[in-house]
Amino acid sequence: MKILVCISHVPDTTSKINFVENNTRLDTNGVQFIIGPYDDYALARAVELKETSGATITVLNVGQADTEPTIRKALAIGADDAIRVNAEPTDSFFVASQIAAQAKEGGYDLILMGRESIDYNSGAVHGIVGEMLGIPSISPVMTLDIEGTTAKLAREIEGGKEYLEVNLPFVAGCQEPIAEWKIPNMRGIMSARTKPLKVVEPVSTDSGVKLETYELPPAKGAVKMISADNVQELVSLLKNEAKVI
């Protein structure tokens, strides 16, 4: 089985977000970049499937040269080789077009990624890739098991989950508890240095989405503290001041 795992390279979840260049670029000063947490779940599940049924894992990232440490980390976790599409990942359609182009060439049985990236939160790439390749796309996926050419999955729905069956190949947008995040070990880190990382140029597309500006939410006012002996005051503030109950 050939698995393609698509990973985003995103600011660590604790990062403070600020913008520069007239609010058109992220201020990367002091920001640490990681594998998108949802993509990390997808990768972890792929590694488990490899361990149980002997798959090969190719990891793909659409990004510029600065994403290579993130890609190497995915190789250290257990991917066999990597592709970097040398371009800035501007929007879902652009990224999905790059993934679809690589997927057509590679002929994968399974394409995994996170349900969304935590920078743009679109949750759209899996759907667009599925449509471009004419195969099913399922998201957000909570469990994934494969027997032969059939997969059994659970998908989260509001307030519960539904269970599905689908034949390979398909695209899945993953989330917990599909697998536990894996931390690379020393051997993984050593071997990752020499695993193949291919750099390819992007295919051209017109996504019809253009960034104008970024902005930050207005600063929050100060918290009002209420004594533990006076919860009635809280209730009256919620009723009369905040008007939320």
Ligand X SMILES: Cc1cc2nc3c(=O)[nH]c(=O)nc-3n(C[C@H](O)[C@H](O)[C@H](O)COP(=O)(O)OP(=O)(O)OC[C@H]3O[C@@H](n4cnc5c(N)ncnc54)[C@H](O)[C@@H]3O)c2cc1C
- Residues within the interface to ligand X (CB under 6 A): 13, 37
Query: How is residue 56 written in tokens?
Result: 């090969």
Closest CA to 83 of 108, 109, 55, 102: 102
Answer with the entry of ligand X, other proteins, none that 125 interacts with (C-beta below 5 to 8 A by kind): other proteins
Judged by CB under 8 A, does residue 210 bind other proteins?
yes
Closest CA to 14 of 1, 30, 25, 38: 30
CB of 147 to ligand X, least distance (A): 31
Give how many residues touch other proteins by CB under 8 A.
Answer: 81
Judged by CB under 8 A, does residue 183 bind other proteins?
no
Q: What is the 3-state secondary structure (H, E, C) of 103-159?
A: HHHHCCCEEEEECCCCCCCCCCHHHHHHHHHCCCEEEEEEEEEEECCEEEEEEEECC
CB of 33 to other proteins, least distance (A): 13
Is the CB of 86 or the CB of 123 nearer to other proteins? 123
CB of 16 to other proteins, least distance (A): 8
Binding span for other proteins by CB under 8 A among 45-53, 62-70, 190-198, 208-216:
208-216
Judged by CB under 8 A, does residue 223 bind other proteins?
yes
Q: For residues 134 and 136, what is the distance between their CA atoms, to the nearest angstrom?
A: 7
Q: For residues 56 and 46, what is the distance between their CA atoms, to the nearest angstrom?
A: 9
Q: For residues 51 and 70, what is the distance between their CA atoms, to the nearest angstrom?
A: 22
Q: Which of residues 28-67 bind other proteins (CB under 8 A)?
A: 37-38
CB of 26 to other proteins, least distance (A): 9
Answer with the entry of other proteins, ligand X, none that 139 interacts with (C-beta below 5 to 8 A by kind): other proteins
